[in-house]
Structure 1
Amino acid sequence: MQPDLRYLSVPIPGWLSVSFAGLVVLLIIGIYYTIRPVAEKQTPFILLGCLLWLSLLFGLAQNAFFLKTQAVPPRFLAAVLPPFLFITGTFLSRKGRKFIDGLSMRRLTWVHTVRIGVELLLFQLFAVGQIPQAMTFEGRNWDILAGLTAPLMAMMVFGPKKWSPRVLLWWNIAALGLLINIVATAVLSAPLPFQQLGFEQPNVGVLKPAFIWLPGFVVPIVLFSHLAAIRRL
């Protein structure tokens, strides 16, 4: 079955791209306040690295680099492999593990509230034909539950009532499962050689600016936050 690619070259509405960019800015602010107490001297360099990476992704997407869906290997890998390798290297190195173990668990939990905004914008992306319904909370994506419950976890585990850290551990494991679910759905819905879902309305939106930042930056940050928390717990 051939995917319907009528929206592949259709730009995402400007207000949607600007809204997602604003969400990424808020995430960067959250990253700043999370890593600053642990690595104050390195924080400016880390943020500069993030901005350079975001600029590179945006530039490639702006020039339709990721829209060449028949390229071998898939160009989409250029957006997701570097963050994955960076995360892997951080966990494997002694300095990286020391950095992880110094991060605030409360702030690592609050980071996941970004998923509320992400899911609301994904629904709008579906409404304009850029992703399939399966990638929204009306389909098979329940990731918004992680975002909605993150404040509860932060307040109850680290607040006066002090829920057991084991509750936070199981929440992180469950929320990580939700993340893996939507990532798998998104990949299998993209118009790539191994597409299995969403043929009537493929996942083309995340191949364009500014939504290329979702797989290339937002998802890796969320993944890192879960893995760091699970390691600590």
Structure 2
Amino acid sequence: MSPEIPQYISILFILTTLTTIWLFKRAFKPSQTTLVILYAWLGLQGYLASSGFYQDTTSLPPKFGLALIPALILIAYIFLSAKGKKFMDKLDPESLYWIHTVRVPVEIVLWMLFASSLIPQIMTFEGRNYDIIAGLTVPLIIFYGIRKPIIDKNRLLLWNVLCLFLLLNIVVMAILSVEGPFQTMSFHIPNKGVLLFPFIWLPCFIVPTVLFSHLVSIRHLLKK
């Protein structure tokens, strides 16, 4: 854990990551091999962040891409491959939606990082990040859209699309706030916190998991 970050923030985020892993296992029922790869990936990213690898923000291409791009490539492969499509068809819709509850503690952690001057205010719910809305509303979606079909398919689809844009909004702001050649905002307080351990697990694991859950849910709804 970085000495400049209050310990309780790091502990809260580690607990959030562990919760995401539990929800990931509940939703996707991964094999032991997949879990080993996941833990190795988290370990590698944690090591790189702890060693200061990501704090070098002047390189081209940006090192930050190593935390996010591999997961995006994997998602693309799943959607394009026949095995991946069969895998997605078998996933339980309700379990996919429960994953979005982690967006509430994630937003609390981001606000704490802002209070510690490690990320800009625009990356919090006090700024331009409204992603917490997805986490707060998902229980209603589960109970009235999945368990009780009061919310129809079109409204479920709209919720997924809107919350997907909320996710993309904060991801774009986070990338453009990192110090380096692509920084276009938040020069006064750049995004440094997400490049540190354990918060690197946000772009390398939590964000891709939430993104994949939305995309699979949208695919299910469009196939109905």
Residues 89-113 of structure 1: CA deviation (Å, up to 9, x unaligned): 1111111111111111111111101
Cα offset for 1:43? 2.2
| Secondary structure in structure 2 of the residue aligned to 1:201 | coil
Q: Which residue of 1 aligns with 2:122?
A: 134
- Is 2:17 aligned against 1:29? no
Percent sequence identity is: 45
Aligned length: 220
Pick from 162, 165, 179: which aligns with 1:177?
A: 165
Pairwise CA distance, 1:151? 0.7
Provide the rounded CA distance (Å) in 1 between the counterparts of 2:218 and 2:102.
Answer: 19
Alpha-carbon separation, structure 1, partners of 2:4 and 2:79: 38
CA offset at residue 215 of structure 1? 0.7
What is the RMSD of the two structures over their aligned residues, measured on CA atoms?
1.2
Structure 1 counterpart of 2:140: 152
Whole-Å Cα distance in 1 between the matches of residues 72 and 148 of structure 2?
A: 36
Q: How far apart are 1:73 and its partner, in Å?
A: 1.2
Which one of 48, 57, 62 corresponds to residue 74 of structure 1? 62
Q: Cα gap change, 1:161/1:87 in structure 2, threshold over 3 Å: closer, same or farther?
A: closer
TM-score normalised over the length of structure 2: 0.95
Answer whether contact 1:32 1:43 (CA < 8 A) is retained. no
The residue that corresponds to 2:175 in the other structure is 187
Picking from 66, 87, 90, the partner of 2:75 is 87
* 2:123 maps to amino acid: M
TM-score (norm 1): 0.91
Match of 2:27, as an amino acid? T
Match of 2:106 in 1: 118
**Structure 1: distance between partners of 2:157 and 2:38:** 28
- Residue 44 of structure 1: CA displacement? 1.8
Q: What is the CA–CA distance in structure 1 between the aligned matches of 2:153 and 2:98, rounded to whole Å?
A: 15
Question: CA shift at 1:46, angstroms?
Answer: 1.7
Cα deviation, residue 81, structure 1: 1.1
Cα distance in structure 2, aligned partners of 1:149 and 1:181: 18
Instruction: Point out 4+ residue stretches in structure 1 off by more than 4 angstroms.
Output: none
Counterpart in 1 of 2:6?
A: 13
Gaps of 5+ in 1: 1-8, 37-41
Unaligned runs of 5+ in 2: none
Q: Which residue of 1 aligns with 2:95?
A: 107
> Matches of 1:143 and 1:183 in 2, distance apart?
10
| Residue 47 (structure 1) aligned with residue 40 (structure 2) | no
Q: Tell me, what secondary structure is at the counterpart of 1:147? A: helix
Deviation at 1:17, TM superposition (A): 1.3
